């Protein structure tokens, strides 16, 4: 069984930890690797390496910094296939889905390469007699990223390319469930010419997270994961004087108006609800058809599509959906279906009944797509983020009732509306209290040059990720006011200067 290690100073680093965590291939249900888990001493050494590298890296010209990232980008394009296969083997998502994840990550690197433009400051001359003022953006120091299992490549690349381009050094703590992609990226950054210590990887669990949160030399923490953990990381981080952006959970609704193109809705909804087995924070998990006529038609058309989903190993190009990431998570998803049935919802298509006996993959963590109708807002299956291939139908009688439903939920990550009416779409975009909105777009994930983030309990902190929000998060402003001696002496001034 191969062992996955930390990465420090451009080399693998075993550390002195005695604990490890199994890394499963969810398609076959077997642990094929193990990842070493850090000790506090390991964290201290890795952070020390990043701290030692920061003074030189932060003063390296921004052009030289982004040239390293530009070469890294070329390596990613050339080897995207290799990274996608690693992701697929540890997460269980299909190869095409994993490959798409890599491409979306590369887009952030492409944005980060533009840092010479984003790092430009401001200058004002003669703000007073012979006095000029200028503002610059400078790096923070050592930054850390704590990332989830479902996007082991893309989410780290929401963070570290911009952090590195703006002059910070970085410590990545990937999920112990899917850790291998982090090491590939670290090796390729070194190959691209990144100096030792600038990018490092520490493998671990909650103990490692706490060590990072409490470390005095970590200046900023970026996190993506569940809301309870996001809130914990935010509160602990700011108590320790750190800058924190912590993205949490989601319950994304799709409103389907009576004038919507139902064929377009069905096609969009299938991919948005069941792609990546629903293990996406931007998955559509709630369909909100307006009127029972639309709801009945929607359910009728969805049933055969869901039953026809091709579920199998991610190595099979015909698979629409691979396994869930762990057996524990599959059981958790099934528990939500149980609770919905107990609470009075109608299980129209039950994914628990999927025949898991795929030849050669009998122990894999597979489940089928599930459709639940007549869900109500008081049900646990609606309140919580299920994070699986489960689509709930909540019927509403009007546009306003649909809006009120969405506003009543604690999560506000993403949402969508399908309509042919321009006024309805525009009003929805303006009225809805959600961070990311799609109009006839099922998963409105912004491109890298915009920023990603929700509202309410879907985010903790003031800055969204990547785009200009990422630049603002990983930099701080310094303003310098300058006057040079002219031979003219002025009397001391004791009142507030007004220039």
Q: Burial of 20 by CB count in 10 Å (0-12 exposed, 13-18 middle, 19+ buried)? A: middle
If asked whether residues 341 and 207 sit together in one domain, one would say: no
Residues in the chain: 499
Can you tell me the mean pLDDT for 212-220? 98
If asked whether residues 358 and 414 sit together in one domain, one would say: yes
Cα–Cα dist 384/406, whole Å:
14
Contact present, 424 and 262 (Cβ < 8 Å): no
From 388, 371, 370, 389, select the one nearest 299 (Cα to Cα): 371
Residue 488: per-residue pLDDT? 63
- pLDDT per residue as tens digits for the range 298-337: 999 999 999 999 999 999 999 999 999 999 999 999 999 9
Can you tell me the mean pLDDT for 363-390? 97
Residue 413 burial (CB count, 10 A):
27
Can you tell me the mean pLDDT for 277-290? 97
- Dihedrals phi, psi of 246, to nearest 5 degrees: -130, 110
From 415, 406, 416, 410, select the one nearest 460 (Cα to Cα): 410
Q: Is residue 489 part of a domain?
A: no
Contact present, 214 and 240 (Cβ < 8 Å): yes
Three-state DSSP state, 499: coil
Q: In this prediction, what percent of the chain has a pLDDT beyond 90?
A: 94
End-to-end CA distance of the chain: 71
Scored b (16 or more CB within 10 A) or e, 72-81 reads bbebbeeebe
Residue 499: per-residue pLDDT? 60
CATH code, domain carrying 314 = 3.40.309.10
From 389, 407, 401, select the one nearest 457 (Cα to Cα): 407
If asked whether residues 84 and 163 sit together in one domain, one would say: yes
If asked whether residues 193 and 76 sit together in one domain, one would say: yes
If asked whether residues 233 and 296 sit together in one domain, one would say: no
Q: Is residue 445 part of a domain?
A: no
Cα–Cα dist 394/376, whole Å:
6
Q: Is residue 488 part of a domain?
A: no
Q: Among 269-273, 375-379, 380-384, 487-491, name the one with the lowest average pLDDT.
A: 487-491
- pLDDT per residue as tens digits for the range 250-274: 999 999 999 999 999 999 999 999 9
Domain count, the chain: 2
* pLDDT over 90 (residue 1): no
The pLDDT confidence band at residue 277, using thresholds 50, 70 and 90, is very high
* Residue in the structure block whose two tokens are 């703006």: 166
Can you tell me the mean pLDDT for 204-214? 98
If asked whether residues 262 and 236 sit together in one domain, one would say: no
- pLDDT per residue as tens digits for the range 36-65: 999 999 999 999 999 999 999 999 999 999
- pLDDT per residue as tens digits for the range 117-168: 999 999 999 998 889 999 999 999 999 999 999 999 999 999 999 999 999 9
Q: In this prediction, what percent of the chain has a pLDDT beyond 70?
A: 99
If asked whether residues 181 and 62 sit together in one domain, one would say: yes
If asked whether residues 426 and 475 sit together in one domain, one would say: no
Contact present, 166 and 137 (Cβ < 8 Å): yes
Q: How does the average pLDDT of the chain come out, rounded? A: 96
- Dihedrals phi, psi of 139, to nearest 5 degrees: -70, 165
Cα–Cα dist 98/77, whole Å:
14
Q: Is residue 496 part of a domain?
A: no
Can you tell me the mean pLDDT for 395-407? 98
Residue 493: per-residue pLDDT? 75
User: Where in the sequence is the domain holding 53, given as residue range(s)?
Assistant: 2-248+458-480
From 393, 396, 409, 403, select the one nearest 250 (Cα to Cα): 409
* pLDDT over 90 (residue 489): no
* pLDDT over 90 (residue 100): yes
Cα–Cα dist 232/209, whole Å:
11
Q: Is residue 413 part of a domain?
A: yes
If asked whether residues 279 and 332 sit together in one domain, one would say: yes
Q: Is residue 494 part of a domain?
A: no
Residue 496: per-residue pLDDT? 77
Q: Is residue 256 part of a domain?
A: yes
Residue 498: per-residue pLDDT? 73
Catalytic residues: 281
- pLDDT per residue as tens digits for the range 439-486: 999 999 999 999 999 999 999 999 999 999 999 999 999 999 999 887
In 17-132, alpha helices (H)? 40-59, 62-78, 80-91, 95-112, 115-118
H-run or E-run covering 221: strand 218-224
Percent of residues in the chain assigned helix, strand, coil, to nearest 5 = 40, 25, 35
CATH code, domain carrying 106 = 3.40.605.10
If asked whether residues 190 and 234 sit together in one domain, one would say: yes
If asked whether residues 372 and 270 sit together in one domain, one would say: yes
Can you tell me the mean pLDDT for 165-189? 98
In 240-394, alpha helices (H)? 262-274, 292-307, 327-342, 380-383
If asked whether residues 144 and 258 sit together in one domain, one would say: no
């Amino acid at each position: 069984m191969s062992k996955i290690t930390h990465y420090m100073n451009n080399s693998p680093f075993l550390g002195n930890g005695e604990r490890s965590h199994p890394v499963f291939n969810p398609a076959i249900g077997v642990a094929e690797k193990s990842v070493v888990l850090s000790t506090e001493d390991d964290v201290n050494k890795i952070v020390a390496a990043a701290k030692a590298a920061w003074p030189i890296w932060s003063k390296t010209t921004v052009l030289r910094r982004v040239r390293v990232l530009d070469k890294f980008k070329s390596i990613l394009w050339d080897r995207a296939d290799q990274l996608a296969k690693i992701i697929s083997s540890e997460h269980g998502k299909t190869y095409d889905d994993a490959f798409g994840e890599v491409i979306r990550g590369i887009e952030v690197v492409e944005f980060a390469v533009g840092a010479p433009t984003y790092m430009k400051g401001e200058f004002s001359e003669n703000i007073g007699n012979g006095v000029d003022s200028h503002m610059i953006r400078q790096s923070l120091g050592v930054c850390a990223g704590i990332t989830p299992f479902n996007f082991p490549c893309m989410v780290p690349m929401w963070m570290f390319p911009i952090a590195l381009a703006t002059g910070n050094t970085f410590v990545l703590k990937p999920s112990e469930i899917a850790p291998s992609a982090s090491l590939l990226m670290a090796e390729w950054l070194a190959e691209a010419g990144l100096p030792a210590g600038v990018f490092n990887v520490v493998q671990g669990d909650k103990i490692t997270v706490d060590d990072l949160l409490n470390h005095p030399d970590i200046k900023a923490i970026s996190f993506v994961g569940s809301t309870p953990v996001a809130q914990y990381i935010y509160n602990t981080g700011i108590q320790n004087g750190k800058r924190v952006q912590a993205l949490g959970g989601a319950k994304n609704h799709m409103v389907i108006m009576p004038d919507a193109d139902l064929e377009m809705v069905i096609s969009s909804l299938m991919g948005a609800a069941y792609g990546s087995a629903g293990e996406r924070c931007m998955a559509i998990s709630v369909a909100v058809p307006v009127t029972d006529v639309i709801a009945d038609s929607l359910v009728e058309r969805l049933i055969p599509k869901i039953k026809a989903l091709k579920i199998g190993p991610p190595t099979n190009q015909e698979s629409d959906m691979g396994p869930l990431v762990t057996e524990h998570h599959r059981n958790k998803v099934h528990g939500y279906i149980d609770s919905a049935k107990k609470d009075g919802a109608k299980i129209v298509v039950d994914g628990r009944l999927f025949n898991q006996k795929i030849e050669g993959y009998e122990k894999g963590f597979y489940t089928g797509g599930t459709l639940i109708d007549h869900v109500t807002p008081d049900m646990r299956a609606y309140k919580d983020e299920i994070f699986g291939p489960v689509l709930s139908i909540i019927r509403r009688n009007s546009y306003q009732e649909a809006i009120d439903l969405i506003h009543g939920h604690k999560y506000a990550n993403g949402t969508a509306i399908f309509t042919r009416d321009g006024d309805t779409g525009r009003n929805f975009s303006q009225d809805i209290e959600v961070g990311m909105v799609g109009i006839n777009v099922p998963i409105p994930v912004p491109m890298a040059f915009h920023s990603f983030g929700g509202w309410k309990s879907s985010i903790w902190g003031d800055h969204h990720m990547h785009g200009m929000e990422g630049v603002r998060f990983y930099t701080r402003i310094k303003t310098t006011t300058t006057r040079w001696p002219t031979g003219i002496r002025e009397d001391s001034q004791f009142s507030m200067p007004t220039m």
